[in-house]
C-alpha cells in the first residue's frame, strides 16, 4: 500500500499485529531501528532503515513499551507501562535486561538521555521524574510535579538544560543541571497535555499538545514559548520528529494525519493522511529524508522516502530508414529510472514496453514520442520525422517470355 504526498512516498512496510499500537520508534544509527508495541510489550528491530522487521523480545504480556531513548553508542533504555519497568540493552536492542520497576501500576511515559551516563524517566499517574547517573542501571527519584499531573515528555536541550512536559495541567518544567532539580517554566493551558517534545537545531524545541491539537515552540533555550500551530480541536499532537535543517513532522490522533513545517514550526501544511480509523502514535527520522510512522490500533509501520526526481525522457531507434515493412528496435535511454513507458510510433500504434520492437507496415515519415514516468513525475521526448519508411521496390514481372523448342 502506497500514499504519495508533499514530496514523499509513504509505503506500508509491516503490520506488527492485530489490535496493536506501535507506541515508540527510535533510530539507533546506521539504519538500526527499534519499535515497541502495546499491549503485548514487544520490541521489534530493523537493520535496513525500516524496510524489514524481526521480533527480538517480548518484555511481558502485561507490559507495553511506551518509550525508548539511546546514547547513540549501543545503550538503549525502554520504559514500559503497567508495572513501570526499566529495560536496558547494551547491544543496539538485540538483548534486554530488566533493571527493576519505578512503581507498581505505573507507566513510564517518557525517557531521555542527557549526556554521559545521565538518563531521565517520567511517570504516569504520579508525575514523577527519576534519574540515572550510571547509564540506566539504577534510578533515583528527583521530582514530583503534582498529584493530578503526569510526565508525558522529556527532552535534553544541551548545556545541562532539560525540559519536562506534563499532562492534565499543561505545564512545562525546566532543569538546569541535567534533571537533578526542576523549576516551573511555562503554562500551556488548562486540561491540556504536553504529549511530545523534540529538539531541533540551536536549542529550538517543539512541543505537541493534546486535546487542542496545538504545537508550541521554544527557542533560544527558553527565551520564547509561543503557540505556532493549531491543527484541529479535540486532536492530540502525539508525536514529533526533526528531519534536519528547519524541517519537522507532527503526527496526530485520532486522525492519522502527518503535518510538516519547513521553517522551524512557523508554518505548517498537511503532508499526508494515512488510513482512516488509525492514529499516528510514533514518528522517527532516519536521515536522508527517510521517516517512519507507527500507528494504532492497526499496528502498522509506514515508511516515507523522498520522491525520486522525475525522468528525463530519451530514446534511440534502429534502423531509422528502410523499405516497408520496416522493423525498428526502440531503446529507452531515459534518465532517473522511469517505471512506466508510453510510446507513440506515429502510425496509430502505441506500446507500454520499455524497449519495444515495432514494425511499420507502409511508407511514410513518422514522428515518435516517449512518455517516461516514475513516482516523481513524467517527461515526454518527441522526435519529429524520426523514422522514414520507403515504399517497397517494384517486383520485376516481364511482359514477354522466351520459348525454347520448335515453333
Using the predicted structure, report yes or no on whether residue 1 has a pLDDT greater than 70. no
Q: How far, CA to CA in Å, does 179 sit from each of 37, 161, 176, 271, 282?
A: 27, 8, 7, 35, 24
Q: What CA–CA distance (Å, rounded) separates 386 from 407? A: 57
Residue ranges of the chain assigned to CATH 2.60.40.10: 315-390
Q: What's the pLDDT tens digit per position in 164-198?
A: 999 877 888 999 999 999 998 887 766 678 889 99
Please give the full DSSP string across 71-130, using - where no structure is assigned.
-SSS-EEEEEESB-EEEEESSTTSS-EEEEES-TTBEEEEEEEEETTEEEEEEETT-EEE
The architecture that CATH gives domain 315-390 is: Sandwich (2.60)
Question: What pLDDT score does 142 carry?
Answer: 97
**Lowest-confidence region among 126-130, 134-138, 366-370:** 126-130
Tell me what percent of the residues of the chain surpass a pLDDT of 90. Answer: 63
Domain with CATH 2.130.10.10 in the chain: 2-305
Strands 377-390 and 321-323: parallel
pTM, to two decimals: 0.78
- Give the CA distances from residue 360 to residues 25, 175, 330, 347, in Å, rounded to whole numbers and listed in that order: 57, 78, 12, 8
Q: Could you tell me the pLDDT band of residue 4, with boundaries at 50, 70 and 90?
A: very low
Name the residue among 300, 198, 301, 191 with its Cα closest to residue 250. 198
User: What pLDDT is recorded for position 223?
Assistant: 66
Distance CA 284, CA 74 (A): 17
The count of residues in the chain is 407
- Percent of all residues in the chain with a pLDDT value above 70, rounded to a whole number: 93
Q: What is the mean pLDDT of residues 367-383?
A: 93
Query: Is 18's pLDDT higher than 90?
Result: no
To the nearest whole number, what is the mean pLDDT of the chain? 89
| Confidence (pLDDT) at 360 | 97
Nearest CA-CA partner of 50 in 304, 393, 359, 267? 304
H/E stretch holding 56 reads strand 54-58
- Mean pLDDT over residues 377-391, rounded? 96
With a cut of 50, say whether residue 2 has pLDDT above it: no
Beta strands in 159-223 (DSSP E): 161-167, 171-175, 183-187, 193-199, 205-210, 214-219
Per-residue pLDDT at 83 exceeds 90: no
**Which CATH number among 3.40.50.300, 3.30.750.24, 3.30.70.141, 2.130.10.10 corresponds to the domain 2-305?**
2.130.10.10
224-257: pLDDT as tens digits: 788 898 887 778 899 999 988 899 999 998 888 8
Coil, helix or strand at residue 221:
helix
Distance (Å, whole) CA 369 – CA 384: 8
* 80 or 60, greater pLDDT: 80
Amino acid at each position: 500500500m502506497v500514499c504519495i504526498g508533499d514530496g514523499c512516498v509513504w509505503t506500508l512496510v509491516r503490520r506488527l499485529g492485530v489490535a496493536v499500537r506501535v507506541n515508540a520508534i527510535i533510530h539507533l544509527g546506521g539504519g538500526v531501528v527499534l519499535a515497541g508495541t502495546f499491549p503485548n510489550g514487544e520490541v521489534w528491530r530493523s537493520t535496513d532503515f525500516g524496510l524489514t522487521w524481526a521480533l527480538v523480545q517480548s518484555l511481558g504480556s502485561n507490559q507495553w513499551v511506551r518509550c525508548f531513548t539511546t546514547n547513540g553508542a549501543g545503550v538503549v533504555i525502554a520504559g514500559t507501562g503497567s508495572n513501570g519497568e526499566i529495560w536496558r540493552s547494551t547491544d543496539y536492542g538485540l538483548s534486554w535486561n530488566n533493571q527493576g520497576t519505578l512503581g507498581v501500576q505505573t507507566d513510564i511515559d517518557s525517557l531521555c538521555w542527557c549526556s554521559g551516563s545521565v538518563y531521565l524517566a517520567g511517570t504516569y499517574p504520579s508525575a514523577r521524574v527519576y534519574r540515572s547517573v550510571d547509564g540506566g542501571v539504577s534510578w533515583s527519584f528527583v521530582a514530583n510535579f503534582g498529584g493530578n499531573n503526569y510526565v508525558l515528555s522529556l527532552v535534553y536541550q544541551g548545556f545541562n538544560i532539560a525540559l519536562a512536559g506534563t499532562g492534565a495541567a499543561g505545564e512545562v518544567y525546566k532543569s538546569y543541571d541535567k534533571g537533578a532539580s526542576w523549576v516551573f517554566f511555562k503554562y500551556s493551558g488548562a486540561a491540556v497535555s504536553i504529549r511530545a517534545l523534540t529538539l531541533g537545531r540551536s536549542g529550538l524545541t517543539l512541543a505537541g499538545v493534546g486535546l487542542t491539537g496545538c504545537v508550541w515552540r521554544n527557542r533560544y533555550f527558553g527565551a520564547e514559548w509561543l503557540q505556532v500551530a493549531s491543527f484541529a480541536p479535540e486532536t492530540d499532537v502525539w508525536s514529533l520528529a526533526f528531519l534536519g535543517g528547519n524541517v519537522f513532522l507532527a503526527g496526530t490522533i485520532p486522525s492519522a494525519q502527518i503535518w510538516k513545517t519547513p521553517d522551524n514550526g512557523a508554518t505548517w501544511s498537511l503532508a499526508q493522511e494515512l488510513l482512516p480509523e488509525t492514529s499516528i502514535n510514533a514518528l522517527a527520522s532516519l536521515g536522508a529524508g527517510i521517516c517512519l510512522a507507527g500507528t494504532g490500533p492497526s499496528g502498522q509501520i509506514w515508511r516515507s522516502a523522498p520522491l525520486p526526481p522525475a525522468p528525463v525522457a530519451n530514446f534511440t531507434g534502429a534502423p531509422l530508414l528502410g523499405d516497408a515493412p520496416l522493423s525498428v528496435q526502440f531503446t529507452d535511454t531515459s534518465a532517473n529510472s522511469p517505471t512506466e513507458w508510453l510510446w507513440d510510433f506515429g502510425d496509430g500504434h502505441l506500446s507500454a514496453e520499455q524497449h519495444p520492437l515495432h514494425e511499420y507496415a507502409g511508407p511514410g515519415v513518422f514522428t515518435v514520442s516517449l512518455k517516461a514516468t516514475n513516482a516523481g513525475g513524467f517527461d515526454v521526448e518527441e522526435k519529429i520525422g524520426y523514422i522514414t519508411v520507403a515504399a517497397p521496390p517494384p517486383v520485376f514481372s516481364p511482359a514477354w517470355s522466351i520459348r525454347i523448342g520448335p515453333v
